[in-house]
């Protein structure tokens, strides 16, 4: 059924990058959209991430998800341009490649085989010998053996993107509102609306874009609740001179992402720790150990910020997107490590689904893809 025939506003629950991107997309298509969140828009994992746009670097193994990530990467420049044009804030997209480093022969051989695999997928890469790597990234320790640059990947300033999307949404007439209590109201068959701090809001469609909290939205019938588990990531920032690090760079045990505001981000731990968002001594130690082992010169920089965020993990690592058994209730959650990357394609395909248009790209990510008996998976690794 199309959105028009269902009637009513679209309510997006969750004002992270995914929820805001969906709201922006739908508003640009002419829908009346309201976004609700318990907290400030653009925060949580959307604010905590490093904004890496790197499906190959992330080693996305599932082919359907990899294809979805690659589509989103392709859509990023146009998406950012539309957001900037609507809201006037530039989210600073940079797609000048991601650098991988090797510090011994075995790792160098692995990079060589990665380069071959990527070439078979028509992804441009360049192996960098020690001296070319130093001319690209002179800050690396003298013990580096070589590297690989994956072209076309990069990063966006996710905190700026959050602000840019809020501004773009507001320009397009989206109401972005905070509500400390939210409850979805449905009958046996379809959604009716949401209860907010300011009363009941009728809705023809509701999108659950609540990230790590997506399985905790009150009022959603059990058969439509996605199995989402928070996966904690701790990060820190060093104060570094501009262009000290030029590319987003992976070193063993950490990634480093430069910002143009004097921060060099170092991430990230990966841990099942419930909804605990505290920064731990172990997390900071692991990140600094990895960064300084690769580049002792970073040791003189000041740690300017530490923080943690919760990735929305799923049992099989795939997001949950599209319709649910309740008419008008849609999912856009479970993006795990790739929420910032997947914002444009999730916005486009979710808007299609809400409008009742075919959205074949999201079929592999349906709630019912493999029954409902989802085991939750423990994950504790670095990076």
Q: Distance between CA 333 and CA 315 in Å, rounded?
A: 13
Q: Distance between CA 158 and CA 103 in Å, rounded?
A: 30
Report in angstroms how near the CB of residue 151 gets to ligand GLY at its nearest.
Answer: 19
**Closer residue to ligand GLY (CB): 14 or 267:** 267
Question: Is residue 334 close enough to count as binding ligand GLY by CB under 6 A?
Answer: no
Beta strands 205-208 and 52-53 are unpaired
Interface map 304-323 toward ligand GLY (x if CB under 6 A): -------x------------
**Closer residue to ligand GLY (CB): 82 or 379:** 379
Q: Which helix (H) or strand (E) holds 292?
A: helix 281-294
Block residue for tokens 């070439």: 119
Q: Which residue is nearest to ligand GLY (CB)?
A: 337
Report in angstroms how near the CB of residue 311 gets to ligand GLY at its nearest.
Answer: 5
Q: Distance between CA 153 and CA 160 in Å, rounded?
A: 19
**Closer residue to ligand GLY (CB): 257 or 321:** 257
Question: Is residue 212 close enough to count as binding ligand GLY by CB under 6 A?
Answer: no
**DSSP assignment letter at 198:** T
Report in angstroms how near the CB of residue 91 gets to ligand GLY at its nearest.
Answer: 17
Q: Distance between CA 18 and CA 46 in Å, rounded?
A: 8
Length of the chain measured in residues: 383
Cβ contacts of 163 within 8 Å, gap of 6 or more: 42, 89
Q: Which helix (H) or strand (E) holds 303?
A: strand 302-313
Residue of 307, 139, 167 whose CA lies nearest to 236: 307
**Closer residue to ligand GLY (CB): 42 or 267:** 267
**Closer residue to ligand GLY (CB): 80 or 235:** 235
Tell which one of 10, 17, 31, 52 touches ligand GLY (CB under 6 A): 52
**DSSP assignment letter at 346:** H
**Closer residue to ligand GLY (CB): 67 or 317:** 317
Mark out the alpha helices in 125-276 (DSSP H runs): 130-136, 158-171
Tell which one of 100, 335, 337, 348 touches ligand GLY (CB under 6 A): 337
Report in angstroms how near the CB of residue 198 gets to ligand GLY at its nearest.
Answer: 35
- Answer for the pair 308, 278: CB distance below 8 angstroms, yes or no: yes
Q: Contacts with ligand GLY: how many residues (CB under 6 A)? A: 6
Question: Is residue 51 close enough to count as binding ligand GLY by CB under 6 A?
Answer: no
Tell which one of 268, 290, 331, 353 touches ligand GLY (CB under 6 A): 268
Cβ contacts of 314 within 8 Å, gap of 6 or more: 226, 227, 228, 229, 320, 334, 336, 374
Report in angstroms how near the CB of residue 269 gets to ligand GLY at its nearest.
Answer: 8
Question: Which residues between 221 and 250 bind ligand GLY (CB under 6 A)?
Answer: 233
**Closer residue to ligand GLY (CB): 52 or 347:** 52
**Closer residue to ligand GLY (CB): 155 or 166:** 155
Q: What 3-state DSSP class applies to 105?
A: helix
Positions touching ligand GLY (CB under 6 A) are 52, 233, 267-268, 311, 337
């Amino acid at each position: 059924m199309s959105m028009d025939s269902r009637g009513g506003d679209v309510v997006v629950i969750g004002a992270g990058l995914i929820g805001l991107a969906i709201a922006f997309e739908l508003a640009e298509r002419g829908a009346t959209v309201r976004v609700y969140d318990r907290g400030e828009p653009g925060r949580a994992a959307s604010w905590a991430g490093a904004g890496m746009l790197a499906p190959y670097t992330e080693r996305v193994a599932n082919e359907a998800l990899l294809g979805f990530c690659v589509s989103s990467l392709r859509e990023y420049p146009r998406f950012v341009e539309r957001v900037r044009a609507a809201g006037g804030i530039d989210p600073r997209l940079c797609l000048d490649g991601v650098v991988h480093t090797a510090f011994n022969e075995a790792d160098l051989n692995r990079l060589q085989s990665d380069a071959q695999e990527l070439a078979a997928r028509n992804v441009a890469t360049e192996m960098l010998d020690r001296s070319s790597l130093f001319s690209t990234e002179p800050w690396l320790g003298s013990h580096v053996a070589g590297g690989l640059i994956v072209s076309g990947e990069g990063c966006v300033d996710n905190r700026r993107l959050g602000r840019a999307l809020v501004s773009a949404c507001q320009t397009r007439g989206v109401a972005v509102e905070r509500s400390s209590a939210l409850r979805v109201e449905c009958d046996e068959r379809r959604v009716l609306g949401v209860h907010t701090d300011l009363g009941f809001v009728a809705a023809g469609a509701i999108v659950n874009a609540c990230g790590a909290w997506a399985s905790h939205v009150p009022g959603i019938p059990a058969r439509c609740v996605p199995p989402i588990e928070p996966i904690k990531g701790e990060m820190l920032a060093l104060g570094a001179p501009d262009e000290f690090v030029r590319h987003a760079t992976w070193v063993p045990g950490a990634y480093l992402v430069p910002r143009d505001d004097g921060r060099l981000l170092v991430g990230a731990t990966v841990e099942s720790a419930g909804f605990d968002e505290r920064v731990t001594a172990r997390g900071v130690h692991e990140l600094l150990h990895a960064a300084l082992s690769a580049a002792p010169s970073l040791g003189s920089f000041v740690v300017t910020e530490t923080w943690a965020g919760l990735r929305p993990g799923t049992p099989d690592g795939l997001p949950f997107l599209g319709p649910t058994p309740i008419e008008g209730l849609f999912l856009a959650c479970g993006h795990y490590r790739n929420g910032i990357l997947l914002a444009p394609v999730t916005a486009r395909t979710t808007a299609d689904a809400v409008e009742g248009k075919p959205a074949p790209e999201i079929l592999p990510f349906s709630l019912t893809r493999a029954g409902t008996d989802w085991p939750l998976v423990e994950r504790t690794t670095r990076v």
